[in-house]
């Protein structure tokens, strides 16, 4: 059996890939994660978090302590964490998930964290996993891996077709492969079926943002209501697509090469420049707030979607239509 690390850092801007990595780590050491507790770094950590981290229970139940959005923790909290990790609790395996965007092929590790003993020690021990997310080179292998996991058999050539069509986003890839699994049934997926896939077949998220930017909020709401009328809850699908789009806009703003439809290039450059660093930070904050409000039970998915749409409308509204603050 694999010996678990004292604590782990998982660094990736793609939330789906990051969750898969956490699952792989826990599966490799099943005895170390019989109990699982998940907390979020973009809200104040409750006393229960610190108790799980530092206190040993009467029964020696091993537990995994997963902290999502750990990159959002302030410096004083990281100092407290580092001090606690210097005296590890043998019953608890902390896993810290840093989910911020990357710049020029490197993760943006908060400066106050990069200097702390807990991070440098974990790095020296090989307890830090880093992934920039999917790119055109890794997309093909990811499609093969996920298709196998989903039980989707494919004719030769299908992987090439899908790698040319699908966007490098793990959640979007899984969504499309799941639909193809239903389409193919028990037979292998044909090349014609693979060609039926479009990354924008259900929802063009950039078009959605452009409509907001041009003041067409009514059209945007119409598309959202159409999804709800079909009995589908669009919030988490929309969040996955928005996260991919936000990463692309950040890369465009940073001058990094980005795989995109050539017809969208100029418009995305304009949108990225218009938002700037502050606007993109507000976009990430709006997405995290919507997700966290549902997972914490403060809002239903429908309520979170309403609030998210309000935040996006304010962020993307034409300048002349914004109310002064």
- Among 80-94, 134-148, 309-323, the minimum mean pLDDT is found in 309-323
If asked whether residues 262 and 303 sit together in one domain, one would say yes
* CATH number assigned to the domain comprising residue 166: 1.10.8.60
Mean pLDDT of 157-172: 86
- Number of independent structural domains in the chain: 3
Domain end: 97, 112, 130, which one?
A: 130
Mean pLDDT of 226-241: 64
Query: Sorting pLDDT into bands at 50, 70 and 90, what band is 101?
Result: confident
If asked whether residues 91 and 163 sit together in one domain, one would say no
**pLDDT recorded at residue 228:** 55
If asked whether residues 65 and 153 sit together in one domain, one would say no
Q: Is residue 15 part of a domain?
A: yes
At 69, is the secondary structure helix, strand, or coil?
Answer: coil
Using the predicted structure, report yes or no on whether residue 7 has a pLDDT greater than 90.
Answer: yes
Using the predicted structure, report yes or no on whether residue 4 has a pLDDT greater than 80.
Answer: yes
If asked whether residues 23 and 126 sit together in one domain, one would say yes
Q: Is residue 200 part of a domain?
A: no
**pLDDT recorded at residue 84:** 96
> Is there a contact between 251 and 134 (Cβ–Cβ < 8 Å)?
no
Using the predicted structure, report yes or no on whether residue 226 has a pLDDT greater than 70.
Answer: no
If asked whether residues 157 and 182 sit together in one domain, one would say yes
**pLDDT recorded at residue 10:** 97
Percent of the chain exceeding pLDDT 90 equals 37
Query: Sorting pLDDT into bands at 50, 70 and 90, what band is 250?
Result: confident
Closest CA to 55 of 76, 69, 37: 37
Phi-psi category of residue 306: left, alpha or beta, with phi > 0 → left and psi -120 to 50 → alpha: alpha
Q: Is residue 322 part of a domain?
A: no
Highest mean pLDDT among 31-40, 66-75, 213-222: 66-75
If asked whether residues 190 and 273 sit together in one domain, one would say no
- Among 83-87, 88-92, 156-160, 169-173, the minimum mean pLDDT is found in 169-173
Q: Is residue 1 part of a domain?
A: no
At 90, is the secondary structure helix, strand, or coil?
Answer: coil
**pLDDT recorded at residue 202:** 44
Using the predicted structure, report yes or no on whether residue 291 has a pLDDT greater than 60.
Answer: yes
Closest CA to 313 of 185, 243, 212: 212
- Among 10-24, 139-153, 165-179, 274-288, the minimum mean pLDDT is found in 165-179
Q: Is residue 109 part of a domain?
A: yes
Domain end: 130, 152, 182, which one?
A: 130
Tell me the DSSP string of 140-184. HHHHHHHHHHTT--B-TTHHHHHHHHS-S-HHHHHHHHHHHHHHH
Q: Domain containing 157: what range?
A: 136-195
List, in sequence order, the alpha helices (H) in the chain. Answer: 15-28, 47-54, 75-85, 111-114, 117-125, 136-149, 158-165, 170-184, 191-195, 205-213, 217-229, 235-254, 265-295, 301-316
**pLDDT recorded at residue 201:** 42
Domain end: 105, 130, 155, which one?
A: 130
Query: Sorting pLDDT into bands at 50, 70 and 90, what band is 324?
Result: very low
Query: Sorting pLDDT into bands at 50, 70 and 90, what band is 1?
Result: low
């Amino acid at each position: 059996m694999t010996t678990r690390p004292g604590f782990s850092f998982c660094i990736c801007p793609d939330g789906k890939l990051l969750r898969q990595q956490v699952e792989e780590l826990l599966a490799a050491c099943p005895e170390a994660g019989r109990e699982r507790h998940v907390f979020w770094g973009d809200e104040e950590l409750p006393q229960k978090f610190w108790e799980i981290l530092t206190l040993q229970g009467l029964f020696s139940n091993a537990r995994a302590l997963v902290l999502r959005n750990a990159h959002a923790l302030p410096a004083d909290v990281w100092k407290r964490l580092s001090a606690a990790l210097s005296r590890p609790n043998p019953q608890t395996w902390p896993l810290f998930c840093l989910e911020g965007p990357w710049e020029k092929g490197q993760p943006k590790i908060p400066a106050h964290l990069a200097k702390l003993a807990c991070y440098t020690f974990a790095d020296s021990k090989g307890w830090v996993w880093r992934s920039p997310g999917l790119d055109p080179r890794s997309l093909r292998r990811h499609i093969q891996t996920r298709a196998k996991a989903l039980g989707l058999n494919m004719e030769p050539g299908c992987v090439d077709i899908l790698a040319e069509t699908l966007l490098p986003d793990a959640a979007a890839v899984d969504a499309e492969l799941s639909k193809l699994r239903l389409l193919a049934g028990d037979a292998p997926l044909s090349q014609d079926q693979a060609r039926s896939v479009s990354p924008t077949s259900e929802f063009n998220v950039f078009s959605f943002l452009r409509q907001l930017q041009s003041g067409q909020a009514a059209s945007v709401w119409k598309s959202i209501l159409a999804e709800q009328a079909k009995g589908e809850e669009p919030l988490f699908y929309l969040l996955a697509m928005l996260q991919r789009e936000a990463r692309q806009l950040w890369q465009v703003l940073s001058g990094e090469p980005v795989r995109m439809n050539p017809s969208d290039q100029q418009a995305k450059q304009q949108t990225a420049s218009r938002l700037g660093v502050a606007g993109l930070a507000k976009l990430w904050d709006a997405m995290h707030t919507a997700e966290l409000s549902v997972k914490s039970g403060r809002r239903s998915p429908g309520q979170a979607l309403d609030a998210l749409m309000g935040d996006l409308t304010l962020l993307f509204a034409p300048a002349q239509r914004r109310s002064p603050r």
